[in-house]
Amino acid sequence: MFLLSLLIFVPVVYGLMLLFVPKSQVKFTALLFSLSTFILSTRLFREFDPSRADLQLVEKFSWVKAFGINYFVGIDGISFWLVLLTTFLMPITILGSWKAVEKNTRAFHANLMFLQSALIGTFLAFDAILFYVFFEASLIPMYFLIGLWGGPRKIYASVKFFIYTMFGSVFMLLAIITMMIMTQTLDGGGGMSASLLDFYKLDIPFIGGTLINSQTLLFFAFCLAFAIKCPMFPVHTWLPDAHVEAPTAGSVLLAGVMLKMGTYGFLRFVLPMFPEATAYWSWLLMLLAVIGIIYGALVAMVQPDIKKLVAYSSVSHMGYVILGLFTLNEFGVTGGLYQMLNHGVSTGALFLLVGMVYERTHNREISKYGGLAKAAPWFTICFMIITLSSIAVPMTNGFIGEFLILLGAFQANSYLAGAAVLGVVLGATYMLWMVKRVFFGSTGELVEKYNSKLEMNWREGAVIAPLIILVFWMGLLPNHFLNWSKASLEHLLQNKNNYTLSYVTESTPSINGKKMIALKDKAVK
């Protein structure tokens, strides 16, 4: 059973099919399609064995033989939840923008499907070129989502988004090609290979304290690409514009999943492939992450636009993720991975909630609100719960992630952790100040005008309910989630300096993992 390929390509087929569905039924069909993808993805719970740290459910076919490029997909504990996060958010996103998008609904939903396919592909690809293709392909549907269904400055935002991220990817492509050339020396001078598993085996020369050596250069090339994607201070300025102009669905997927492509990249490429450079330069990444946490929070605090505030809060939250990953210890990395999921849930939910109000009032200026709690009490409860998750109150998911990251950071560098803890205070400040101005106090002009229409309806309740359940589930029983990633993360951290990943094909009984790959790799070459 080609489960992973199905997960990648079924959405493409769905997307194409949607183009031919009668207009009146597009939304409903898209919802069903995305639900079916989600249900398909839950097969992973049965097929994936969390006790093993190796690569599972592998599918590998030769693609460009001359350069050792394969269609090579697989899954391990690191990508497991990110795939599920993507399939989980999709139906929610579609149901969430039920009323928001009225023009070109066919193209809109087809784009969402294509985007999903590219996102899942990114998380499953274990061939560097294939990864790069998916990584870049995800830009195209997002570019259209922003550029066609976006706000007033959509062209500016979509072009800025596209060029910014393209810029980083170019360096990544260069780095990938360099590494492919390097793989020729592996296994006694065979051909090229673009397999990540071969990249892991490379022993790239590193000289501390200088910039011009292969490992450091490759390290920074990848870092730049992923840092822009995350985004990390100081290359974050595309994000607020992209978010503000994007339609709700675009924002949810952008914040919920696309940003994780960056942090996932750090975890999949940078940490295991360049161990010396990572250890040497981790202080820089951690420092930038902490600056990002504080900077993002401070700038979020003074935003006049709710959506922009949430966008800057993403900068702050992603700072936590990067801080966690570069602590290089179990607490930080586990927390970082968890925070990726948390951010997907809570920021995704925040964008959905902001979208619900925006659909009614067509205005997001904080100063024009006030007293919303009285007009829309159920909506307020939902918003409050998500706010608590976002500011990491215990018993919500955010707390587990943030706590583990700070714990790990304290072990790695207590001064930086001390600075990062300020983010805990500032996070509460910008969120609660916004909540106070939007929901409390006397009735603002927009609330006055749309008073009776502001309460959320059943559809919107159904959109937000699964996210709220996840907030508490992930906050109270984190082991339910972390157990699936534990083996892979432990494997990564325990073999920091000579990380390898092996796999067993389904058809062959697992006698000896390592030998099997060697055989298999040879065979493909």
Residues that bind another protein (CB under 8 A): 160, 163-164, 167, 234-235, 237, 240, 295, 298-299, 301-303, 330-331, 334, 370-371, 373-374, 377, 388, 393-395, 400, 403-404, 406-407, 410-411, 414, 417-418, 421-422, 424-425, 428-429, 432-433, 436, 439-442, 476-479, 482
Strands 56-64 and 69-75: antiparallel
Burial class (CB in 10 A: 0-12, 13-18, 19+), 211: exposed
Q: Minimum distance from CB of 126 to another protein (Å)?
A: 26
Q: Which is nearer to another protein, 284 or 302 (CB)?
A: 302
Distance in angstroms (rounded) separating the CA atoms of residues 520 and 192:
15
Residue (240 or 319) nearer to another protein, CB: 240
**Least separation in angstroms between CB 450 and another protein:** 18
How far out from the chain centre does Cα 524 lie?
32
The minimum distance between CB 48 and another protein, in angstroms, equals 21
- The span from the CA of 70 to the CA of 76, in Å, is 18
486 exposure class (CB count in 10 Å sphere: 0-12, 13-18, 19+): middle
Residues 7-30: b if buried by 16+ CB within 10 A, e if exposed: bbebbbebbeebeebeeeebbebb
Shortest distance in whole angstroms from residue 447 CB to another protein: 11
The CB-of-371 to another protein minimum distance in angstroms stands at 6
Would you say 78 or 373 has its CB closer to another protein? 373
Query: What residues have CB less than 8 Å from 416, skipping those under 6 apart?
Result: 286, 287, 290, 323, 409
Question: Please, which residue, 27 or 364, has the CB nearer to another protein?
Answer: 364
- 206/312 with CB nearer another protein: 312
> How far is Cα 411 from Cα 12, in angstroms, rounded to an integer?
44
Minimum CB distance to another protein smaller for 433 or for 499: 433
Q: How far is the CB of 415 from another protein (least distance, A)?
A: 11
Of 258, 227, 249, 239, nearest to 157 (Cα)?
239
Min. distance of Cβ 334 from another protein in angstroms? 5
With the C-alpha atoms ordered 392, 82, 249, 146, is the resulting torsion angle positive or negative? positive
Q: How far apart are CA 404 and CA 348, in angstroms?
A: 21
Shortest distance, position 279 Cβ to another protein, whole Å: 19
Which residue's entry shows tokens 């916004």? Answer: 434
Neighbours of 63 (CB within 10 A): 16
Pick between residue 154 and residue 236 the one whose CB is nearest to another protein: 236
Q: Report, in Å, the least distance between residue 407 CB and another protein.
A: 6
- Residue written as token pair 């050339």: 181
Q: Which is nearer to another protein, 217 or 315 (CB)?
A: 315
CB of 76 to another protein, least distance (A): 18
Report the alpha-carbon distance of residue 303 to residue 287 in Å, rounded: 24
- What do you get for the CA distance between the two ends of the chain, in Å? 24
Q: Which is nearer to another protein, 456 or 482 (CB)?
A: 482
CA distances from 303 to 171, 244, 299 (A): 33, 12, 7
Between helix 330-361 and helix 306-325 the angle, nearest 10°, is: 170
Closer residue to another protein in complex, CB, 136/490: 490
**Looking at beta carbons only, is 1 or 170 nearer to another protein?**
170
Q: How far is the CB of 487 from another protein (least distance, A)?
A: 13
